[in-house]
């Protein structure tokens, strides 16, 4: 299976973000991937709570044709147009009482395949003293979600989920061979932790890990914020096999199931595990 991770520099301007996503997906489709992944919050990154709520979409019941908001319909259209599985990073879902940071995945036929709400919310203080409180805007998900892309079982996570290996282990136990991590990782934390955590999760679970990230500057309530980028794909041994440079772009790699099988056969971690 060929896999592409797309790197974007979204802002609070939803229309501009949708246009950028269409442009990048169309260009990256020339690599002929089977599965393509967008970053976290590619529809609206930054702004204030009103901007986030204005950009949010009420997601339709799966299988409802010609329904959903602009981003939902665009993802479905692009998946169908390019005959790919399109893992839609994440967008703000209007859940009524609160918003959710939600992944939606579409198959080449344009049908929805999976929906995942981010479980771990980013409430931290960065090394430079900048505070983040995702839970002030978004609710928390609870479901472990996998789906099929060709012959591969794919596990869903979003950004801060990366710091919780128990979620990745649960996805491995649910049959995942590939775990996807759309993200808007901060520059301050990303420069020290991004790659090492992604490689660690790949090594621990013996899964491929595909991380599509946002990059660059955006405005959050009038203040400048920066995300790290460096979208990458790691194999089950923890080797980085593809990585995006700074700026918008993408990276593509071929996932070889024989590599997964060999790593798991030669080091049978799941057979040796004695703690829950």
Longest dimension (CA), the chain: 52
The catalytic position among 14, 118, 177, 207 is 118
Question: Which among 44, 156, 159, 207 is annotated as catalytic?
Answer: 159
What six digits make up the tokens of 118?
């981010």
118 is catalytic: yes
Distance CA 94, CA 45 (A): 16
For residue 230, which of 200, 264, 196 has the smallest C-alpha distance? 196
| Residue 159 annotated in active site | yes
Both tokens of residue 234?
């790691």
Residues 115 and 145: beta-carbon distance below 8 Å: yes
Cα 194 to its chain centre, rounded Å, is 14
Q: Which of 40, 93, 177, 248 is catalytic?
A: 40
Show which residues are catalytic. Answer: 40, 118, 159
């Amino acid at each position: 299976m060929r896999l592409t991770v797309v790197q974007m520099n979204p802002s609070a301007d939803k229309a501009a973000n949708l246009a950028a996503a269409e442009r990048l997906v169309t260009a990256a489709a020339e690599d002929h991937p089977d599965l393509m992944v967008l970053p976290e919050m590619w529809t609206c990154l930054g702004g204030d709570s009103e901007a986030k709520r204005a950009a949010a979409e009420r997601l339709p019941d799966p299988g409802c044709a010609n329904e959903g908001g602009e981003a939902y319909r665009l993802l479905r259209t692009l998946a169908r147009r390019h005959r790919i599985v399109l893992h839609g990073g994440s967008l703000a879902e209007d859940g009524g009482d609160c918003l959710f940071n939600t992944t939606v995945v579409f198959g080449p036929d344009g049908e929805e395949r999976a929906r995942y709400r981010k479980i771990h919310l980013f409430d931290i203080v960065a090394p430079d003293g900048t505070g983040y409180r995702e839970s002030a805007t978004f609710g928390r998900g609870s479901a472990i979600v996998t789906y099929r892309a060709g012959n591969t079982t794919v596990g869903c996570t979003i950004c801060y989920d990366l710091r919780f290996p128990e979620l990745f282990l649960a996805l491995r136990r649910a049959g995942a061979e590939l775990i996807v991590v759309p993200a808007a990782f901060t520059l301050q934390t990303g420069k020290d932790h991004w790659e090492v955590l992604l490689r660690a999760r790949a090594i621990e679970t013996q899964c491929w890990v595909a991380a599509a990230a946002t990059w660059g500057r955006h405005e959050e309530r009038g203040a400048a914020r920066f995300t790290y980028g460096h979208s990458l794909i790691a194999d089950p041994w923890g080797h980085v096999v593809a990585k995006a440079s700074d700026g918008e772009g993408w990276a593509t790699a071929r996932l070889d199931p024989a590599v997964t099988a060999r790593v798991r056969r030669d080091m049978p971690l799941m057979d040796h595990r004695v703690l829950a």
